[in-house]
Amino acid sequence: MASEEEKRARLIEFLDKMVFDPVLRADDSKYDENDRKKLADVKRSTENEKRRFHDDYRSAIAVKQNYLSDLSSQTAAKKNKELEDLGLPRMYQIRDDFLKLCDQIHV
């Protein structure tokens, strides 16, 4: 059985790989001027969100709860629209796989 810290690390690694890092690595040169501004905003927001998950949520349960909470926030709705416009991954797109991982590692 994985330790609590190992479970937390697996969930954060999954979020990093599937959502946070692809957004943060998006190539600005592939976008026009208006979209570059939108991308800069989305990157800043994503960086803050990633930092929150890494630094503030100290248990696997906290990661799961905050992930699910973020899915329904008003801020997420606006950000999801911007991410969709830019062709970048959104948190809700990985919901089923995230919850499957939670079940697999017993969170």
Q: How far apart are CA 2 and CA 10, in angstroms?
A: 10
Task: Please give the share of the chain, as a percent, with pLDDT higher than 70.
Answer: 99
Digit-coded pLDDT (tens) for 52-67: 999 999 999 999 999 9
Q: How far apart are CA 32 and CA 50, in angstroms?
A: 26
**What pTM does this model have?**
0.93
Digit-coded pLDDT (tens) for 73-103: 888 888 999 999 999 999 999 999 999 999 9
Tokens read off for 51 = 């930092």
> Is-contact 90 83, C-beta < 8 A?
yes
Which bin fits 87, alpha (ψ -120 to 50), beta or left (φ > 0)? left
pLDDT recorded at residue 78: 85
